[in-house]
Amino acid sequence: MAMKPSKARVRQLLNDLTGFDVVRASGQHTLRSHLSVLISTYQIDRVIDVGANEGGFGSLLRDIGFRGAIHSFEPVSSAFQALLGRSAHDPHWDAHNLALGAENTVATINVSKFTQMSSFLPASSCGSGRWPMLAVEAKEQVSVRTLADCYGKGIVPSGGRVLLKMDTQGFDLEVFKGALPVRGEICCLLSELSLLPVYEGMPDFAESIAVYREAGFVVTGFYPITRTESCALNEVDCVLADPLRLPQGR
């Protein structure tokens, strides 16, 4: 008699077939599956992708079935060119060669060999000791705008149910401050937090969470990015949501 495949095996087959992470609602989620559930639950129709680099997060969104508008912001010129190439054939994915922050200004960004780790902040001794790719290869003068100003100038249209994703190497709280005037449109957040000071002057992860909670968000998931050799968490993706923005009937 043929043996029935286990539930785990069935889920794996479905994952391989569909490209989605199929999990029990009460089970363990990956970041991909958690975002898929969150986008559906909160009926997200617009994503503000801050620190887009070469467009990896936008591609992830499309891979999990999100078909709404994506506005990706990337200030580093080489990364932005790659982002343009990735988004060019998607009519609902706009790329902007800007940084977002707490005020409208021009600032110098430290461009690292690994452009994902480029930052307005200098690397700390802890960060440079652990990641040689943090070494600065160039400096660029870039335009910084607040998210509220981007709404006001029509760069991002008003309206919609927004997921604000921030991956800005120690600058997320500055981005969030600049988004506070349009806070009412933001249903969910994704913020990269560091438990170790990778950059000088970056906020502690607990400080960041406190700011987000004060603004009405609750944590819905932590997803490890990197660990130390002792297995201690270094960086995590923190996902948050505003329970008051749940659609009626949920």
| CA distance linking residue 43 with residue 187, whole number of Å | 9
pLDDT of residue 18: 44
- Positions in the chain short of pLDDT 50: 1-2, 7-8, 11, 14, 18-26
Residue 114 CB: number of other CB atoms within 10 A? Answer: 14
CA nearest 66: which of 154, 172, 188, 168? 188
Those residues whose C-beta lies under 8 Å from the C-beta of residue 11, and which sit 6 or more positions away, are 22, 23
Query: Residue 1's pLDDT is what?
Result: 46
Residue 21: the pLDDT is 46
Cα distance between residue 85 and residue 127, in whole Å: 31
DSSP string, 193-237: EESS--BTTPPPHHHHHHHHHHTT-EEEEEEEEEE-TT--EEEEE
Structural domains present in the chain: 43-102+146-243 (3.40.50.150)
CA distance 185 to 164: 10
* Predicted pLDDT at 121: 93
Measured CA to CA, the distance from residue 117 to residue 155 in angstroms comes to: 26
